[in-house]
Chain A
Amino acid sequence: DAGVTQSPTHLIKTRGQHVTLRCSPISGHKSVSWYQQVLGQGPQFIFQYYEKEERGRGNFPDRFSARQFPNYSSELNVNALLLGDSALYLCASSRRAAGNEKLFFGSGTQLSVL
């Protein structure tokens, strides 16, 4: 079975641009979460979507937005990129929204903002 897949794997943008990151969860998983991992730190929660509805939002500015599609895949959008947005963006999926759920992480998208 395929794991969580993310695209693209690497991306280089300049300040002020917009970026869209994509995630396909494991088959049968209805929950997708997004995390930002800055070099040398632990991942930080951005969003969770379950059944196409937002279930949780971390402490990130409105420049960050996301959505989930009927096939449970998800997009993370970041507008007006800043240098500080450079990070590894991780997508994680689980079967349910919460509870005793193990999160399965994708390999991430490495975003560099110049």
Chain B
Amino acid sequence: ELKVEQNPLFLSMQEGKNYTIYCNYSTTSDRLYWYRQDPGKSLESLFVLLSNGAVKQEGRLMASLDTKARLSTLHITAAVHDLSATYFCAVDPSTGANNLFFGTGTRLTVIP
């Protein structure tokens, strides 16, 4: 069974600092997604990574994909309080369906 592991599970960081969230997965896939979830809310799509070496950036967040290492990273630059949320990576095993396998999530708290 496909496994998706994120680390850290919990991250508390000060405003202005940089940090990276890691997402490892156990099967071959070249499609990886990052989502954000605020407490009690639904999932917001952040990035869609579709090939080895893909890098996408939006504001203070940058995501990358290394399909050979089965690793994706979400890098946070100069964190601000508004980034506090839970971040999920999700892998598409390309079964012909939109069947995403989600990681357990990283709960990020940015301290002013």
Q: Could you say which interface size class chain B belongs to?
A: 20 to 34
Please report the total number of A residues contacting B with Cβ < 8 Å.
Answer: 25
Residues of chain A lying within 8 A (CB to CB) of residue B101 = 45
User: Of all chain A residues, which has the CB nearest B104?
Assistant: A42
**B30 CB to nearest A CB, Å:** 10
Which of A63-71, A75-83, A103-111 faces chain B? Answer: A103-111
Cβ of A102 and Cβ of B48 under 8 Å apart? yes
Cβ of B102 and Cβ of A43 under 8 Å apart? yes
In the complex, A55→B42 CA distance in Å? 23
Cβ of A90 and Cβ of B42 under 8 Å apart? yes
Residues of chain A lying within 8 A (CB to CB) of residue B33 = 102-103
- Interface readout for A36-78 with B: 1 if CB under 8 Å, 0 if not? 0000011111001000000110100000000000000000000
Cβ of B41 and Cβ of A107 under 8 Å apart? yes
Contact for B96 among A33, A42, A44, A55, CB less than 8 A: A55
- Interface readout for B83-97 with A: 1 if CB under 8 Å, 0 if not? 000001010001111
Let me know if B57 is at the binding interface, CB within 8 A.
Answer: no
User: Of all chain B residues, which has the CB nearest A54?
Assistant: B97
